[in-house]
Structure 1
Amino acid sequence: MKKRTFIKTLGLGAGMGAFAGFPAASAHPAARKKLLPKRLQPGDRVGLISPSAATADRMEFVFAREAMEALGLSVKDGKHLADRRGHLAGSDADRAADLNEMFGDKSIKAVICIRGGSGAARILPMIDYDLIRKNPKPILGYSDITALHNAIHAQTGLVTFHGPNGSGSWNPFNASQFRTVFFGKEKRITYQNEVEATEDLVMKKNRIRTIYPGKASGDLVGGNLTVLTALAGSPYLPDFKNKVLFLEDIGEEPYRIDRMMSTLMLTGVLKEIAGFVFGQCTDCDPSGGYGNLTIDQILDDYLLPLKIPAYRGAMIGHVPKQFLLPFGAKISMDADAGILETDEAIFQ
């Protein structure tokens, strides 16, 4: 899935939000007081929406519903879940309306995004952030859903959840992550790469590489690198001061990763963060040209001068098994051991 396409339409800002009939986003949102969602319970009803790209295969809707039901939940489909307008899952207004309706519906206890792709950034000015503040509930997804995580957290302070989309892989690892995060009672959740036994003398799969050693703590923010950098200069990015930044991507050649990391440097994001975690860069192989920097070299160039704890290789991103992370919650990180751990409650 190649998701690098546009998402540069956010210059509309607050004006479009007011025009659409929803409260305008704060032009330069100050750090919001953290808002915790209510905990999900087995048997609860969740809303399935498609805020980004359209889903062409109708069986994907069936898979998403059945996955949620297998996790012990009931499902309500968004009114426009199966719509299509070009590559998008319906018009901007309709996709935003589905999200707003799910947050306003008292019977819905969590919002599940069926897929990513591209297009979520188009609806950011149409989201009713006041409604979300009054009805805090979990929202789950990743990839292009990065736009929603950052915008909702920046505008409301709500802790959201970066993890498998509704139609994604619900293997035992991901299902266990879902149950641990949403149904579990643990005070601290630890995220450490799974160790898989092989016949090789050396563990090669799911290895982490420490970029700069040490430990750090801070609120966890980030997501898909392409989507995140496309929000630069908009009111839909949170404050990065003393935060732990996590990133992942897919289908981007190293020179593009370098360009986007330079955006984070030039906008001052990198100099503000307390720690850094890079997940997986799937299908990010170089092609042609006079030679290429490697992803390792690029990360070293931008992160080593910062002298903050940093590592790469976490199970985050476009991979079959992935962490389900609380976006905006305070976490501790250990760059030597490759561990993330929640430091506070993530639900009310």
Structure 2
Amino acid sequence: MLSRRTMMQAIGALMLPAAGISAVLPPRRRPRRLRRGDVVGLVEPAYFTPDAFDLEAILATIRAMGLVPRAAPNVMSRYGYLAGSDEERAAHLNTMFADPEVRAIFAVRGGWGCARILPLLDFDLIRANPKLLIGFSDITALHLALAARADFPSIHGPNAASAWGQLSWDSFRRLAFDAETPTWAIPPGTEDRLAQRNGRARTFRPGRATGPLIGGNLTVLSALVGTPYLPSFDGAILFLEETEEAQYRIDRMMTHLALAGILGRVAGVVFGQCTDCTARISSLGGFTLSEVLAHHLAPLGVPAFQGALFGHVTDQFSLPVGVRAEIDAAAGTIRMLEPVVA
């Protein structure tokens, strides 16, 4: 078995910067990079935090990044399974974007509720105050809405309440603090076997593709189809992740994206982690997840692979939503072509 140190050295070698790429691209509107001592907002646009001890640990995590956390008033509030009413949650998010002292905004957790507040967000105000929004899962609704209505990038990465292991932190730091354009590769497996089964890309169609990274949680994204909060997918690199959904549900949502014309517009597809995505009642006649994805992705004729390290897992790479990237489906890599921050 590989030691943790050996594992981290291997991962570090895989996070290679794409030197010189950003210099040849035209400038675009970006949030400001983070620096030690910056004040950052903590918001709960969906589920609530149930325990004060949990909040203490979350605040300690943000301070360990060298940042100063400022929690929105609704953190620790509860309205059913939400962290306050729709009006409260939207107002606190608007306030964080308007506050000149707040340099970035972390979602504390996902769950459900972000889509409910989209009509209440002041996108004129948000567009005038570009700031990094960080989070994943249900936060996908906010990432997509920002891409569609505010025209500046955000970061699909760990929520403030996530574990923030070394891999997650290094990935986020390189994007948000250092303004790097790295390459993310699937970390090597660590099983004690001759041929690793973990850490391998499942390539549905090899090749390279370039385009803006657009995506997030499959359930959340598919639920926004037909709304004004979904950005264009023309020439995009679609990235998807999911958790606790049976294979037939993944099939249904991918079919929805195909029928809506989204899959036919993309330049490439990356499916990350699908945690606990198995039917409760198994059948020898059922499709595996990879088979379901192959049915939908292989016929597209664009580079597509499965297995990238993002989603509902302990450690994950941060992905800049709306930033141009290049994927290599055979190698299982995602290379950033421009920084997410200025």
Q: TM-score, normalised by structure 1?
A: 0.88
CA distance in 1, matches of 2:281, 2:131: 46
Residue 272 (structure 2) aligns with: 279
Encode CA deviations 1:284-317: one digit per residue, 9 max, x unaligned: 1122276422111111111111110000000010
Aligned to 1:207, what secondary structure does the other structure show? Answer: coil
1:72 aligned partner, one-letter code: G
Residue 7 (structure 2) aligns with: none
2:80 aligned partner, one-letter code: G
CA distance in 2, matches of 1:239, 1:318: 25
Encode CA deviations 1:175-230: one digit per residue, 9 max, x unaligned: 111221111243x2111122254432222222211110000000000100000001
Residue 80 (structure 2) aligns with: 86
Residue 126 (structure 1) aligns with: 120
Residue 347 (structure 1) aligns with: 341
Aligned to 2:257, what secondary structure does the other structure show? Answer: helix
1:296 aligned partner, one-letter code: S
Q: Pick from 298, 303, 312 the counterpart of residue 297 of structure 2.
A: 303
CA distance in 2, matches of 1:163, 1:91: 25
* 1:280 to partner: Cα distance: 0.7
Residue 204 (structure 1) aligns with: 197
Encode CA deviations 1:306-340: one digit per residue, 9 max, x unaligned: 11000000001000110111000000000010110
C-alpha change, 1:207 and 1:102, in structure 2 (3 Å) is: same
Please, which moves more after superposition, 49-58 or 326-335? Answer: 49-58
Residue 224 (structure 1) aligns with: 217
Encode CA deviations 1:34-73: one digit per residue, 9 max, x unaligned: 6311111111110000000112122221121111100100
* 1:242 to partner: Cα distance: 0.3
Q: Pick from 306, 315, 322 the counterpart of residue 328 of structure 1.
A: 322
CA distance in 2, matches of 1:299, 1:153: 25
Encode CA deviations 1:261-280: one digit per residue, 9 max, x unaligned: 00000000000000000001
Residue 153 (structure 2) aligns with: 159
CA distance in 1, matches of 2:40, 2:215: 25
1:231 aligned partner, one-letter code: L
Q: Pick from 218, 230, 233 the counterpart of residue 237 of structure 1.
A: 230
1:284 aligned partner, one-letter code: C
CA distance in 1, matches of 2:55, 2:142: 21
Encode CA deviations 1:62-107: one digit per residue, 9 max, x unaligned: 1211111001000101011111110001100000011101000000
CA distance in 2, matches of 1:34, 1:295: 37
Aligned to 1:166, what secondary structure does the other structure show? Answer: coil
Equivalent residues in 2 for 1:49-88, closer than 5 Å:
49-88=43-82
Aligned to 2:295, what secondary structure does the other structure show? Answer: helix
1:310 aligned partner, one-letter code: A
Residue 43 (structure 1) aligns with: 37
Aligned to 1:238, what secondary structure does the other structure show? Answer: coil
Q: TM-score, normalised by structure 2?
A: 0.90
Are residue 95 (structure 1) and residue 89 (structure 2) matched? yes
CA distance in 2, matches of 1:185, 1:268: 34
C-alpha change, 1:274 and 1:190, in structure 2 (3 Å) is: same
Q: Pick from 262, 269, 275 the counterpart of residue 262 of structure 2.
A: 269
Encode CA deviations 1:3-54: one digit per residue, 9 max, x unaligned: xxxxxxxxxxxxxxxxxxxxxxxxxxxxxx9631111111111000000011
CA distance in 2, matches of 1:295, 1:232: 23
Instruction: Give ranges in structure 1 of 5+ residues lacking alignment.
Output: 1-32
Instruction: Give ranges in structure 2 of 5+ residues lacking alignment.
Output: 1-26
CA distance in 2, matches of 1:80, 1:341: 37
* 1:132 to partner: Cα distance: 1.1
Please, which moves more after superposition, 192-201 or 213-222? Answer: 192-201
1:287 aligned partner, one-letter code: R
Aligned to 1:178, what secondary structure does the other structure show? Answer: helix
Aligned length, in residue pairs: 315
Contact 1:286/1:292 (<8 A) preserved: no
Aligned to 2:325, what secondary structure does the other structure show? Answer: strand
